[in-house]
Structure 1
Amino acid sequence: MLDKFFKLSENKTTVKTEVLAGITTFMTMAYILAVNPNILSGEGLDLPVGTLMDKGAVFTATAISAVIGTLVMALWAKLPFALAPGMGLNAFFVFGVCLAMDKSWQFALTAVFLEGILFILMTVFNIREVIINAIPKSIKNAISVGIGLFIAFIGMKNSGIIVDHSATFVHLGDMKSATVLLALGGILLTGVLLATKVKGALLLGMLATTIVGIPIGVTQLPHFDFSVPSISPILWQFDWEWLHTAEGVFSMITVLFTFLFVDMFDTVGTLIGVSTKANMLNKDGKIPNVKKALMADSIGTTMGAVLGTSTVTTYVESAAGVAEGGRTGLTALTTAGLFFLALFLSPLFLMIPAAATAPALVLVGVMMMTPIQNLDLDDYTESIPAFFTLVMMPLTFSIAEGIVFGILAYVFLKLFSGRYKEVSIVGYLLAILFILKFIYI
């Protein structure tokens, strides 16, 4: 039944491979269950009670929204991608909207809800699909490489291998730190497992690193509280007062466009990059079932806002599951099942330290480099935009910004070198949109 529904044989995969891939994806993104509630509740910030959201309720909303979005991806789009509330967007929700603009969290949730509705409409009318198909092949290849650099950077940052520095921005972390040494040991172990073609190498590497971290104090054994926090404090909490003033409407448009822009190009970049690496693009260079995949993102965002969490997006950590062989919706179905279990067994999942997920992220970064060999480095109107795409993702900590710089470089170089006919109408429209974004947002 599974083989027929998910077309496992057609995609040259098995139930075992898909399940292992789903577990791997979940373990690399399970951190969101802890991080998202911390950010949206303002953990560590000296704020009056009620300024931000209830931490326990956000945990429940995070898990349920991840289940809903990933199930749509699994059962309808039948692609191996997982969804959850996105990093970066949750920080903008709190620091950009609630604190900097002095808006209520209900106002921010309303913006997320409207974004989800707009995305549904854009998907129904194929607007997002047209944008994906308009991105040049060289930039599509560069997106995969850029995502590889980006997630490797995330893994090194989260484990302390790379730290911030006031003078040089980044710096090598404390090489005597148990966390750093554990992460480096995990990279070495997982690398050996990959080199010797051990099945499930990424997952085994994470499990082994987590276990080794117990006696050295990096992996913290949890307090076992299996109760599920109530979602009622944040469920269906929207604010429509902004409709009564011109200032309120302008503020909503600004916030809405920012959510819309970042989410759209993060999702587009992830779908293109991971699909390119997995050789899932069809002969026309298009992602199979892309419209359904984009609808999963739209539904996840809309339902996430109703439940009480920031924008739900397709996770770049899905690349870890794809690297383990995941090719169908069964991978995503497994990940969705684990997010559901996490509602009741959260202490077990949240004990996995960043040092244990770092090896998977770093080595998936290596795997994502493959499409660089497809770049035409001799044609500077292709190679320069590709370079900007791949280098700006880790440097700006944003997939979306990498795509922006790549598209702008592509359009300007083609235009001013007399090869303007090689750029599609949609390409020119995107360039204009990106310029307006820099001016007004």
Structure 2
Amino acid sequence: MTRAFHQFAAELSYDDLPEAVLKVLRRSFLDTMGVAAIGSTTTMALIARDTALAMFGAGTIGASRILMHGARLSPAGAAMAGGFIIDSVDAHDGTSPCKGHAGSAVFPALLAMGDIKDDIDGIEFALLLAIAYEVSYRAGLAQHATCPDYHTSGAWTAVGVATACARALDCSADQIRHAAGIGEYHGPRSQMMRCIDHPTMLRDGVGWGAPSGITAAFLAQRGFTGAPALTCEEAPTFWEDLGMAWRLAEDTHYKPYPCCRWAHPALDAAQELMRDHDLHHSQIERVEIRTFHNATRLAGHQPKTPDEFAYAIAFPVAAMIVRGQVGVPELAEETLRDPDIVNISKATELIDDDHFTAISDGKRWAQVAFYLRDGRRVEAAPRTPRGDTDLPLSDTEISEKFHLFADPVLGPARAHEIETLAIEFDQLSRADFARLRDLCLSPPPGAYSS
């Protein structure tokens, strides 16, 4: 590699960031805060907050506020609670080649760091985000290429968070190297397919990836050793163009629907078929979804909890057929008992397609067909999901999604101010960035006491 990852992290400057990178970071800031707003209302978020408050009191390092809550505890505790808050609604940004997500760990960790430093401006925060995302993505690629198990995002975001937080602490390149090794070693090497097969609140592991990374940085600053991070130093193929090409600009996707990305091509196809053939759900006798192997393990014909809904295909597709959308109302528990959706879901067959499995490496393929009660069969073309860089969501779609999630929780005025500041966050002064941070870390009106 032309420059070792720890030297890259120690030496990178804002002027090194291409406009394409900054555009992604701005979009991700807005998109992630929308997910955090709606996520803050979930039972999973409540449990994570209460546990963090019980176990992670602030110490001599200083206090950080919990995302969308405002209570103060240690930076690790704030990162833990914030990671679970964002991860509680499966609508945050991701990276298809890594089969996971970085922003859900990176944002709560770096906002917690910003809260204790209190002197970070937009330029510095953009720099830290770029380091965290880029190192996370490359560590994730290396891990998936060298490990037999499919690990959660918490495993490799711990490395990116550790690297960026060590930079935020003004660590030397050697200390940054050790921070990455500590974060990798102590990060959650959790098996993602366990949560696919048995959906629970474990989700994507970022609730432990974020605090593991931030703790690793503070350990390294004090002389704790942990190098090498194997994903950074023993898989050189994934690091050779570091600083010349940017994985975060090439690989970051955005979700139009709050459920597992693997269901999205089928959701797009179902929406298209309903619209193009002017169908009503009562006309559909059964549904056939051909997709790649791991996606068929989502199943979810009769989810009993929001976690089972998040890791399903059949039920979200049925919701799209019946309601024409999969949005905030579909996250309500009463949706799980909607008889029209349940009937369509039970009449949905998932087919493990060898061809789609073979080509779903970095992309997610599916094909949907409807069998109608009048004997007709209608079929959509095979597709990958919207939101990838080849089928991007527009700025307007990102904005609409943000307000869909944030306005009911934060109020339109506060949501509008977050959007105004987030879409230019890297240009903000210390005072203006502190205002944006306050808007993201303070509780919704009348929701909780801090």
Q: Note whether the superposition's TM-score is higher than 0.5.
A: no
Q: Of the two structures, which has the highest relative contact order with CA contacts closer than 8 Å and spacing of 6 or more?
A: 1
Structure with more of its chain in helix, by fraction = 1
Relative to the length of structure 2, the TM-score reads 0.29
Relative to the length of structure 1, the TM-score reads 0.29
